[in-house]
Amino acid sequence: MERKELNEKIKKKNYGITLIALVITIIVLLILAGVSIATLLGENGILNTANDAKQKTDLAKEKENLQFSIATGHSSGLYGELELSYLQDSLNTHFGKNEATVTENPDGTFTVTVKKSGNEYQLTKTGQEINVNKVKDDEPAKLSGSGTEDSPYLIESIEDLIFFSYQVTSGNDNYDGKYVELTTDLNFASSDSYVNPNCEDYGDYGYNGKIKDEIDKNGFIPIGSIKNDTTTPEKQEQYNFKRIF
């Protein structure tokens, strides 16, 4: 009986050791699996890194095709001014037919839109790229800041500029004693300078339709435009911007 009891104890001990080893093995495997998943799918994982590399390669190729298109998009020689039909033909050659389109803006600059990426490029008449960053404006058509020298009113988008111009032009506010700051370069021809270039809520400001389309067609209403009813110097003075921009 004593030998049998001893064997049973040894078996139970071995079972316990085996169970602990199994649990440890499972834990180790789970840790390794977690490391593998993180390596594959994490923020700096293999898939994300590969995707970022592909995007950078695609963008570099896109810009290369654009430069080739510009080089052969001039009406006379390499350093002449761009010509719409020449540039469009060149874009068709380097990107594929209708994969990149060009429009001429009222100021003589050009906007090239690449269909696949949705990227827009602004070009001068001679083909120089105009760099425009996408605006960040949480409250378009509302100027943040308090108008002081330390905290000026901020114009962060074309929507803000429309509002600011309207305030002066309508005589609502000539900003006397206040400070206004433009926080970024704005380009009326670039959708990136608008929070929403297709917004149609600016009829009261003089833009009856999509704001970018209206500005492309009719131009931007200048700050301090004199109304027809401003017949006296006093009334005209009311429509002037009177402080620091």
Report which of 219, 223, 221 is spatially closest to residue 105, judged by C-alpha positions. Answer: 219
Domain boundary among 95, 130, 165: 130
Q: What percent of the chain has a predicted confidence (pLDDT) above 70? A: 80
From 130, 162, 185, give the residue that closes a domain.
130
Task: Choose the final residue of a domain: 80, 115, 130.
Answer: 130
Q: How many domains does the chain have?
A: 2
Is the whole model's pTM more than 0.75, yes or no? no
157 lies in the same domain as 213? yes
Looking at the domain assignment, is residue 142 inside a domain?
A: no
Answer whether residue 96 is part of any domain. yes
Q: Is 118 found in the same domain as 162?
A: no
Co-location of 163 and 94 in the same domain: no
> What confidence tier does 32 reach under pLDDT thresholds 50, 70, 90?
confident
What range defines the domain where residue 204 resides?
153-238
Residue 207 lies in a domain: yes
pLDDT at residue 14, rounded to an integer: 53
Asked if residue 4 is part of any domain, the answer here is no
- Does some domain include residue 3? no
Residue 23 lies in a domain: no
Mean pLDDT (the chain) is 82
Q: Say if 190 falls within a structural domain.
A: yes
**170 and 115 in a common domain:** no
pLDDT of residue 2: 58
**Tokens linked to 177:** 């004693």
As a three-state string, the secondary structure of the chain is CHHHHHHHHHHHHHHHHHHHHHHHHHHHHHHHHHHHHHHHHCCCCHHHHHHHHHHHHHHHHHHHHHHHHHHCCECCCCCCCECHHHHHHHHHHHHCCCCEEEEECCCCCEEEEECCCCCEEEECCCCCEECCCCCCCCCCCCCECCCCCCCCEEECCHHHHHHHHHHHHCCCCCCCCCEEEECCCCCCCCHHHCCCCCCCCCHHHCCCCCHHHHHHHHCCCCCCCCCCCCCCHHHHHHCCCCCEC
121 and 178, same structural domain? no
**Mean pLDDT lowest among 70-74, 188-192, 230-234:** 230-234
Instruction: Flag the least confident range among 38-47, 140-149, 216-225.
Output: 38-47
| Vertex 180 angle, CA 177 and 182, to 5° | 165
Please check whether residues 126 and 157 belong to one and the same domain. no
Question: Is the model's pLDDT at 50 over the cut of 90?
Answer: no
Residue 88, pLDDT score: 93
- Specify if 230 maps to a domain: yes
- Higher pLDDT, residue 36 or 30: 30
Q: Are residues 98 and 160 in the same domain?
A: no
CA dihedral 89, 92, 98, 103 (to 10 degrees): -40
What is the structure's pLDDT at 6?
A: 46
- pLDDT for residue 111 is more than 70: yes
